Amino acid sequence: MKLKIYKDKNTVAEEFSKFFASQTGENKEFHVALSGGSTPKIVFDVLAYEFGSSVDWSVVHFYWGDERCVSPDDDQSNYKMTVEHLFSKIDVPESNIHRILGENDPIQEAQRYSTVLIDTLPNVNGYPQFDLVILGMGDDGHTASIFPHEIELWHSDKVCEVAVHPESGQKRVTITGDAINNAKTVAFLVTGESKVEKVSEILDQKGGFKSYPANLVAPKSGNLLWFLDEAAATGITSK
């Protein structure tokens, strides 16, 4: 695991964008699972503005780690946010965008998207493999859309599951633990003071190891990166 701590969320976005661009430069297909949230939104802006013309987007295939069960034009849609902040500003083939159909029946969509991942991603260790999975982390330690009250979904033998937000009851389609941990690289983007408690508990292994879904992220490759701003990292004692 590598910690990368920067001054603020804008610097996190800039440095992660540089890292992302560097990973796509080998002239072969690059498969990435995107995250929603405020920090990825800034990342997408930076990617579009600073790397829009230098990255070969024809080799980059986009997926999502999770999606709310809403229509693609809904303001809560991760897909819509990505269109507005990235896809509308770069030259990416439509066939390279593999969205979760949030408007569909959640159970059927989880099954369909599992098939999409199995059919389009390389099969490694008997499981689909992303080149990069981008993750956020909630104040409660959830990641993708696997929340602490449904932590058993992490261990599902399915590639995708239907999750339920603990407060709103909103359904979401999410990839599961094996899909995340089979990736070549996993990168957390975590910023803000509200994340201090969980970041320190997870990275310092306090409060009981594996208490939160985010604590279960342990890619087989060993390539786990945490991109943090100083605000989120203030409680870490093992830096």
pLDDT in tens, 110-124: 999 999 999 999 999
pLDDT score of 1: 86
SS3 176: coil
Q: Is the pLDDT of residue 107 over 90?
A: yes
39: helix, strand or coil = helix
**Mean pLDDT, the chain, integer:** 94
Q: Is the pLDDT of residue 171 over 70?
A: yes
Tell me the Cα Rg of the chain: 17
Question: How high is the pLDDT of residue 210?
Answer: 57
What pLDDT shows up at residue 125? 87
CATH architecture of 2-233: 3-Layer(aba) Sandwich (3.40)
Residue 191 pLDDT exceeds 80: yes
pLDDT of residue 216: 94
pLDDT, average across residues 54-83: 97
Decide: 19 and 223 in contact? Cβ < 8 Å: no
pLDDT band at 237 (very low <50, low <70, confident <90, very high): confident
